[in-house]
Amino acid sequence: MIMQTFEELNSAQIEWVTNPESLTKRLREFTDNKISLHVLYDDWGMTDQNQEAWIRRIEWHYFDERWITATVIIPDTSITEETAELKNIGGKPIGEILFQEPTLTYSDFIFEKINKNEWSRQRTFYFKQKPLMIIEHFLPVFFSAIQCKK
Whether 13 and 143 have beta carbons less than 8 Å apart is answered as yes
pLDDT of residue 1: 38
pLDDT of residue 115: 86
Q: How far apart are CA 72 and CA 41, in angstroms?
A: 10
pLDDT of residue 147: 79
Tell how strand 130-138 and strand 52-62 pair up: unpaired
Q: How far apart are CA 27 and CA 87, in angstroms?
A: 23
| Best CA proximity match to 58, nearest among 30, 23, 29 | 23
Q: Where are the domains of the chain?
A: 2-149
pLDDT of residue 3: 43
Q: How far apart are CA 28 and CA 140, in angstroms?
A: 19
> Which CATH code for domain 2-149?
3.40.1410.10
Tens digits of pLDDT across the chain (150 residues): 344 477 778 888 899 999 999 999 999 999 999 999 999 999 999 999 999 999 999 999 999 999 999 999 999 999 999 999 999 999 999 999 999 999 999 999 999 999 888 999 999 999 999 999 999 999 999 999 987 765
